Structure 1
Amino acid sequence: MANGGGRWARPPARGLWSATARRRWSPPMRTCTKPCWAGGRGGRPAPSEEDKTMTLRVMMLQPPSPPGLNVKRDYAGGMGVADPSPRTRFGHDAGYITLPYMSLLYATAVLEREGFAVSFLDAQAEDLDLDAVVERVRAAQPQAVVSVVNLPSLAGDLEVLRALRGGAPGARTVAIGTVIGPLFETVARSGAADAAVRGDPEAVLPALLRQLLGAAAPDPVRFESAAGVLVNRAPARVEDLNALPPLPYHLVPIEKYWYHGFGPGVKYAAVFASRGCSFKCYYCPYPMGFGDRIVHRDPIAVVDEIETLQRRYGVQGILFRDQVFTMDWPKTRALCEEILRRGLRIEWVVETRLDRVNGELLRLMKAAGCRRIHYGLESGDPKLFSRVGKDGAEGRMEQLIRNFTLTERLGIHPHMFVLIGLLGETEASIARTIEVIRRIKPLTLQVAVVTPYPGTPLFEEARRQGLLATEDWSRYTGFQAVSRTEALSGAELAAARERILRAHRRATFWKRRRHQARLWAGYLADGSLPRRLWAKWRRRS
């Protein structure tokens, strides 16, 4: 049966398409000029909706980073952040973090569960250039390609989709990602996508693909054609994380993923225990990307998944992608206690708020394997910190600092996020931030320049006040000054960032040396030093 210009003469090769599709594939009885259920030749009775779905071949694509950038696609609420790269082609630098876009991964699992013939191509993990991506897609002959688009890489991501439309005949293109919400018109006018998803693709993608590929009747209640692009009318949200199938790590090159929090040579996987953020930080894209209400998975199911990842794939580290991991203390305790009850020896990293931890919880997390916690201090100025949406922070800065130092004292690595360039930022508030850093001496620190992400209240306010320096999205990396404050220019913010980083390096010089010595001594003691050195050398070479 011909579908979109391609023909299957035999089942797909093992390892390319999902096991579900291989089990259910059967050769067509007769060639049709169009799908038989649409009235084509062949004399077969109209199949059921499930039978129609079985013939639909879909490739899920994490596109390569564009020239000059390395993109972390799942960060910043799915907007993505990026660092500069000397690379002049599409691809992804070997020494840079590799992490699958989590909604793309979950959507893959949903499609596989519903009987689609689904494959997954991670062009970042495999460092594929544009020609290689087009060739891989052409060889697979999917009927649709579902690809992520992010903000700093938007132009490059759309170029990839346009190349697929021209180089892989018959493959319809579907764009997903947080940017689809605020920048749908840009994506639609680009000529790159046949369809797009607003919100969580896991919740709507199967129905959208069936309609796009002619396997289901049009549903004008759920979908519309806007600027020639099929899109869901209302943003889709997953309301029950427990209803999602397990992550399909059997389809991804998990052996190519690495994360600096675990070090070279340590196989890791990303997992959700909860999703969403109910806090109202005016600059943050998390509620827009992951929902403004926190939904939790059953802690037992989360530990089931961790145990499967460890036993089946040899995973040694878990990166929890929860926006506020410790929001629900009873669920956090239950998860930790279940890890301990099963005797799982695994390390994990989380992100949470400084006002959502205490000594008892931190001790339990440490015992269960928590190695590192990412905290957003944002600013050392109490008034500025409170203004961004950290409710009540103005009167509790000392308590937040104590929680940070307590984390370190209990043997968990606290990583500090600092954000400069918030509305109201001045030289005086930056000086207070530097003073807090000198006082705490965080072992690791990330200093970002505030990015007014489109769709956030900060973007609208910065545009209204004329504070935006550019709407060139390639500069919205999370580390470049793309707006100013009422008192500081973009150049002054960039200089302040360097000043903060220098102050941190000086304040922690000997602390970092002692930590490095302890780290390598531990690797030598546990026998992992040769493996780590080999993995580090391979990435650099």
Structure 2
Amino acid sequence: MLPITPRQPMPNDAARGLNVLLMQLPLPINERHKRVMPLSLLYLASCARQQVGSLDLEILDAQAENLTYDEICRRVWQKRRDVIGVTFWTAQATFAYALSPALKKVCPNAKIVFGGVHPTIFPEEASKHADYVIVREGERPFSELLKRLAAGKAPDGIPGLGYRPSPDEELKIWPDKGFIDDLDELPFPAWDLLKLERYDTPMHVTGGKRVPVIGSRGCPYNCVYCTSPFLWRRRVRYRNPKRVVDEIETIGKQLGIHQIHFWDDNLFMVRDYIKSLCEEIIRRKVKINWVGLTRASHLVQNADLMPLAKESGCIGMEIGIESANPETFDKIEKQESLDDIITSARIQAEAGMYPMFTYMAFNPGETLAGYYLQAKFIDKIHEGLPWPEHFHPLPYRVYVGQFCTAHPGTKLFDMAPKLGIVLSKDWADYYHHKINFVPNSLLDDVPIRNVERLRPVDYWICLNAMAGTNYEFYHAHQTTMEHRIRHSQYFKFVKAFFDACDGRLTLRQIWRELTTYRGIDSEECLRYTAFTSLILGQLGLIRSAIFQQDLEIRPKPIDVPISRAGLMKFELFRRIGGIFDVFSS
């Protein structure tokens, strides 16, 4: 870190009132992540304005600005800081803990407050690096803390707040009194504190800017990979639909944005709510495009509402498939049926909406046959529809999605060591674009070649999919030579892997053999093994020699959008990379 002297008080500091800086931290390989609006900080800010009064409020979104430690410290140093509030997920915890002492160095009098998902799960750990921690909903305890600090009063007894009286003492934390019952009492988010041009992740299907809105908090389901059961205790609360539309109208008038992404966990779960919301949008003649997240079964139960949703501006709903394997559904406690997923796609298409589906790889219970069946299933539900713009990570019909991650606070976090190999070694590993878990069900499968040899385009798909979805494989901090070496290594791996798929060895055995003979780091080789199995398996180029042997598996033709120039560049890379042997045999 560059040396920065502590900021000295300025003559006009006292006249500004309590200075509060709210901060969102960068993610690992931050430049590759979409820019996520810090909606929780916007609510903290608006509530603090309402409850506390005179404040000098600012939001520093280091994720959107892609700031480093040094850049963050220099920005923090520019003004007097009385309170620095930091929210973070588990993947950002390592960064937060390393940043905290630097913040204390540049602003020694500032109180550092940690909140968000990770501090809620591990308040003891987080409290070692901050003056205060806040668990679960932060609007009330944060505003009350600011009142106490402004008045010079002790923060004891604030529900949901914790702190250590001294570094050697145990954490004192006051239990929260439950969630905010009436979400309509919350003011609208403080959008004026953000530079909205930084948030350029396009709206699904239509493109263009979008703004998140939350009409409810919580989810009653118990999926093993999700932190929601821990954070929200499986309780759901709703805002008044009229209040939600008030916010949408305000966004349109003040921000000039007319595309809304609802961040509710299950938008169609309560029929009266979604019906009233759509009717209110139509009644007021609010012209918007909107998308949201829900479960397939909820759409099926409310199939008659699809025309109403379409009329109100819905362009399609996101539905989490996660897997097309019924056994995997049981293991992750998804409580959905494949029939409902198919029906949800059909009824949206019939209403003129575009169904969007998310999915995960390396769930417990997955096998090679499952990857082929999942790809066929996703092809089926997209049948007759154009490829959705601004949604899938790849521009062709190869399905990777997110990687199953055993997040702290989930059931899977405790189950994962028994169900497979956990590769996460640091909190910074816990994000969905890094392979952190490989299930035993896949490792114990036995692959066998389903074609005589791979074509050049098959290697290209493997490399393109790897670079497009595994953020550590390809990122801006690597040099051109590092890119070339890594790509060459992976090309050679794919050939060696395919040659090893002779129907005799399990994937676990192939991984260990290739680790020894290819000289690749063991964990890196395991990630390569799992990912290549996913791609070649769903393309029908390899299959299981022990599971579903009677299943007819044919190589899947892929219309790869690669130009002549792209093919020439691919061939040049192949030659320069020193991998003549890949296609020669």
TM-score per shorter chain, which class?
A: 0.7 to 0.9
| Distance in 1 of aligned mates of 2:404 and 2:172 | 31
1:430 paired to 2:371: yes
Give the C-alpha shift of residue 262 in structure 1. 5.0
Aligned-partner Cα distance in 2 for 1:152–1:411: 38
* Shift of residue 321, structure 1, vs aligned partner: 0.7
Deviates more, 1:466-475 or 1:138-147: 466-475
Query: Counterpart in 1 of 2:275?
Result: 333
Residue of structure 2 equivalent to 1:481: 435
Describe the shift of the 1:177–1:135 C-alpha distance in structure 2 as closer, same or farther (beyond 3 A): same
Q: Which residue number in structure 1 is paired with residue 535 of structure 2?
A: 498
CA contact (8 A) 2:64 2:199 kept: yes
CA pair 324-431 structure 1, distance change in 2 beyond 3 A: same
Match of residue 470, structure 1, among 424, 429, 433: 424
CA distance in 2, matches of 1:123, 1:237: 29
1:522 paired residue number: none
8 A Cα contact 1:418 1:447, kept in partner: yes
Aligned mates of 1:204, 1:476 — CA distance in 2: 28
Report how far residue 348 of structure 1 moved: 1.2
1:184 aligns with 2:128: no
**Closer/same/farther in 2, CA of residues 468 and 162 from structure 1, 3 Å limit:** same
Q: Distance in 2 between matches of 1:231 and 1:118?
A: 28
Q: Structure 2: which 5+ runs fail to align?
A: 1-5, 393-398, 444-525, 541-554, 563-585
Match in the other structure for 1:40: none
Whether the aligned pair in 1 keeps the contact of 2:7 and 2:77 (CA below 8 Å) is no
Aligned to 2:409: 455
Contact 1:336 1:368 in 2 (8 A): yes
**Count of residue pairs brought into register by the alignment:** 439
Distance 1:291 1:100, change over 3 A: farther
Structure 2 counterpart of 1:225, which letter? Y
2:124–2:171 Cα contact (<8 Å) kept: no
What is the match of residue 404 of structure 1? 345
Cα 1:260/1:56, change in 2 over 3 Å: same
Q: CA deviation at 1:509?
A: 4.1
Contact 1:64 1:130 in 2 (8 A): no
Give the residue type in structure 2 aligned to 1:377. Answer: I
1:378 to 322, 329, 332: 322
8 Å contact 1:441–1:507 — kept in the other structure? Answer: no
Q: What SS does the corresponding residue of 2:136 show, helix, strand or coil? A: coil
Shift of 1:240: 2.4
Q: Residue 535 of structure 2 aligns to which amino acid in structure 1?
A: E
Structure 1 stretch displaced more, 310-319 or 110-119: 110-119
Q: CA shift at 1:224, angstroms?
A: 4.2
Q: 2:70 aligns with which of 122, 128, 131?
A: 131
Which of 27, 34, 39 is the aligned partner of 1:97? Answer: 34
Match of 2:20 among 58, 61, 70: 58
Q: Does 1:306 align with 2:248?
A: yes
Q: Distance in 2 between matches of 1:220 and 1:330?
A: 39
* Residue aligning to 1:216: 153
* Structure 1 counterpart of 2:360, from 403, 412, 419: 419
State the AA in 1 paired with 2:422.
L
Report how far residue 254 of structure 1 moved. Answer: 1.7
CA contact (8 A) 1:195 1:231 kept: no
Which consecutive unaligned segments of at least 5 residues does structure 1 have?
12-26, 29-53, 71-91, 514-541
Does the 8 A contact of 1:277 with 1:324 survive in 2?
yes
Q: CA deviation digits over 1:190-211, x for unaligned, max 9?
A: xx32211111111311223445
The amino acid of 2:143's aligned partner reads P
Seen in structure 2, the aligned counterparts of structure 1 residues 188 and 308 have a Cα distance that, compared at 3 Å, is same
2:214 to 259, 264, 272: 272
Tell me the secondary structure at the aligned position of residue 85 of structure 2.
strand
Cross-structure match for 2:113: 174
TM-score by length of 1: 0.73
Please tell me whether the aligned partners of residues 62 and 100 of structure 1 are also in contact (alpha carbons under 8 angstroms).
Answer: no
Tell me which moved more, 473-482 or 194-203: 473-482
**CA contact 2:364–2:440 (8 Å) conserved in 1:** yes
- Write the distance in 2 (CA, Å) between the matches of 1:338 and 1:507: 46
Displacement of 1:103 in angstroms is 1.7
C-alpha spacing 1:213/1:455, structure 2 compared with 1 (3 Å): farther
The Cα offsets for residues 13-49 of structure 1, whole Å up to 9 and x where unpaired, read as: xxxxxxxxxxxxxx76xxxxxxxxxxxxxxxxxxxxx
For residue 212 of structure 1, report the CA deviation from its aligned partner: 5.7
The verdict on how the C-alpha distance between 1:469 and 1:5 changes in structure 2, with shifts beyond 3 A counting, is closer
Q: What is the percentage of aligned positions where both structures have the same residue?
A: 26
Structure 1 pair 367–225 and aligned structure 2 pair: CA distance change class (3 A): same
| TM-superposed deviation, 1:101 | 2.5
Check the 8 A contact 2:127/2:171 in 1, yes or no.
no
Shift of 1:498: 3.1
Q: How does 1:160-171 map to 2 (within 5 A)?
A: 160-171=99-110
Q: Is the 8 A contact 1:130 1:160 kept in 2?
A: yes
Cα drift, residue 413 of structure 1: 2.1
* 2:141 matches 1:233: no
What do you get for the CA RMSD once the two structures are aligned?
Answer: 3.2
Alignment of 1:527-538 (within 5 A): none
Corresponding residue for residue 37 of structure 1: none
- Mapped contact 1:134–1:168 kept (Cα < 8 A): no
Distance 1:322 1:258, change over 3 A: same
Question: C-alpha distance in 1, partners of 2:424/2:59?
Answer: 35
In the alignment, residue 531 of structure 2 is paired with which amino acid?
A: A
The Cα of 1:431 is off from its aligned counterpart by: 3.2
CA contact (8 A) 2:132 2:162 kept: no
Amino acid at match of 1:297: R
2:194 paired residue number: 252
Q: Is contact 2:318-2:355 (8 Å) kept?
A: yes
Paired letter, 1:433: Q
Q: Distance in 2 between matches of 1:129 and 1:188?
A: 23
Which of 156-165 and 222-231 deviates more? Answer: 222-231
Partner of 1:112: 49
TM-score in terms of structure 2 length: 0.68
User: Which letter does structure 2 place at the counterpart of 1:305?
Assistant: E
Deviation at 1:234, TM superposition (A): 2.7
Q: Is the 8 A contact 1:347 1:370 kept in 2?
A: yes
In structure 1, C-alpha distance between the alignment counterparts of 2:359 and 2:181, rounded to whole Å: 31
Task: Please give the per-residue CA displacement for 1:134-178, whole angstroms capped at 9, x wherever unaligned.
Answer: 222222212011012222232223333332221223222111110
Question: Cα distance, 1:363 vs. partner?
Answer: 1.6
**Inter-partner Cα distance in structure 2 for 1:290 and 1:306:** 25
Tell me which residue corresponds to 1:295: 237
Q: CA–CA distance in 2 between the matches of 1:320 and 1:507?
A: 36
